[in-house]
Amino acid sequence: MAEILIAGAGGFIGGALAAQLQQEGHTLRCVDRKPLDDWYQVLPGAENVVADLQELDACRAAVEGVETVYDLAADMGGMGFIEANKALCMLSVLTGTHMLLAAKDEGVGRFFFSSSACVYAADKQTDPAVTALREEDAYPAMAEDGYGWEKLFTERMCRHFYEDFGLETRVARYHNVYGPLGTFEGGREKAPAALARKIALAALTGEKVIEIWGDGEQTRSFMYIDDCVRGSRMIAEGPYYSPVNLGSSELVSINQMVSILEEIAGVTVERRHDLTAPQGVRGRNSDNTLIVERYGWEPSVSLRDGLEQTYRWIYDQLAKRQPVGV
């Protein structure tokens, strides 16, 4: 019988979390609706299940007998995907609703929900020199359309399932997770992977012109996958049920990130800015005051180090397809 359920285990973060938990000796049930061949990691020895967790019956089967649930299942991607698929993103609310109902009925001990910085009110993110977002800045609510509202609604359900039914829910608000093994092409990739791909192709092909969405002055913070896994475990196992930021407070503009990747790759590129492309909010950063107070936690991997690891992995994937100089 599995001890821990990871919903969305076929995804980037879910796969990394599952690998860490299995390495520590935990028995896992890993569930995702994607075919196994499309999972980021498939772990031998885990109970790997293909099922659609938008369906209540699938959720009941998934939680049977487990003590801890990590709910990371969601239809999402980078800014291009989120802005073009608001309804699909909203439909993930079915997964959150049915997972919570099933967990309550089964008597699950802990329920972790992966929320997002997209829950924060848009009017607090209009300047690239943004004031870092505190947890209370999610209200009055004006979340990012589609994906952000789904996350905020499910956060509220987690709160009320804790208050009304005694289900020990825990919520982390992820801020832009990236790293090796993540999506780097196809439309769902986020900025670090997309830019690393473009710089790697420039290095491989010699065609040193890249497209940047927007003017490049929009700012974000980015968290390396290892820190995300470590922080998620800490929050899931901790005593606090209210949402907490899980991210880096190292703010960077898109143009600055390109410069870091140029330095890593040893190339200089010409930048062409597409001002019509999706850009999201102008600035977003994580205020880590609360997570430091609660857990004494800060990310351990700097943006420069994380980008280097990510770039090297993406370069290697592309180099297998594209011989240098062709």
Q: What is the pLDDT of residues 46-65, one digit of tens each?
A: 999 999 999 999 999 999 99
291 band by pLDDT with thresholds 50, 70 and 90: very high
Work out the average pLDDT over 133-140. 94
pLDDT in the model for residue 270: 93
Which of the following is catalytic: 147, 174, 178, 315?
147
Nearest in space to 215 (alpha carbons), one of 98, 295, 128, 150: 128
pLDDT in the model for residue 174: 97
pLDDT in the model for residue 57: 98
Distance CA 185, CA 152 (A): 28
77 band by pLDDT with thresholds 50, 70 and 90: low
Query: Is 309 exposed, middle or buried, given 0-12, 13-18 or 19+ CB atoms closer than 10 A?
Result: middle
pLDDT in the model for residue 272: 92
Work out the average pLDDT over 88-105. 95
Work out the average pLDDT over 243-271. 95
323 band by pLDDT with thresholds 50, 70 and 90: low
- Whole-model pTM: value is 0.92
Q: Token digits for 90?
A: 């909203």
Residue pair 26/50 in contact by the 8 Å Cβ criterion: no
pLDDT in the model for residue 234: 98
In sequence order, the β-bridge partners of residue 253 are 219
- Look at residue 197 and tell me whether its pLDDT is greater than 80: yes
322 band by pLDDT with thresholds 50, 70 and 90: low
326 band by pLDDT with thresholds 50, 70 and 90: very low
Phi (first) and psi of residue 224, to 5 degrees: -70, 145
236 band by pLDDT with thresholds 50, 70 and 90: very high
Please say if 147 is a catalytic residue.
yes
Distance CA 177, CA 196 (A): 14
- Look at residue 81 and tell me whether its pLDDT is greater than 90: no
Query: How many Cα atoms are found within 13 Å in the side-chain-facing hemisphere of 188?
Result: 11
- Look at residue 324 and tell me whether its pLDDT is greater than 60: no
Residue pair 135/243 in contact by the 8 Å Cβ criterion: yes
pLDDT in the model for residue 79: 65
pLDDT above 90 as % of the chain: 79
The domains located in the chain, with CATH, are 4-177+222-246 (3.40.50.720), 179-221+250-321 (3.90.25.10)
215 band by pLDDT with thresholds 50, 70 and 90: very high
Radius of gyration of the chain (CA): 19
129 band by pLDDT with thresholds 50, 70 and 90: confident
Distance CA 267, CA 261 (A): 9
- Look at residue 282 and tell me whether its pLDDT is greater than 90: no
Nearest in space to 96 (alpha carbons), one of 52, 151, 33, 174: 151
DSSP assignment of 251-280 equals -EEHHHHHHHHHHHHT---EEEEETTS---
Residue pair 40/10 in contact by the 8 Å Cβ criterion: yes
pLDDT digits 0-9 by tens, 173-190: 999 999 999 888 887 788
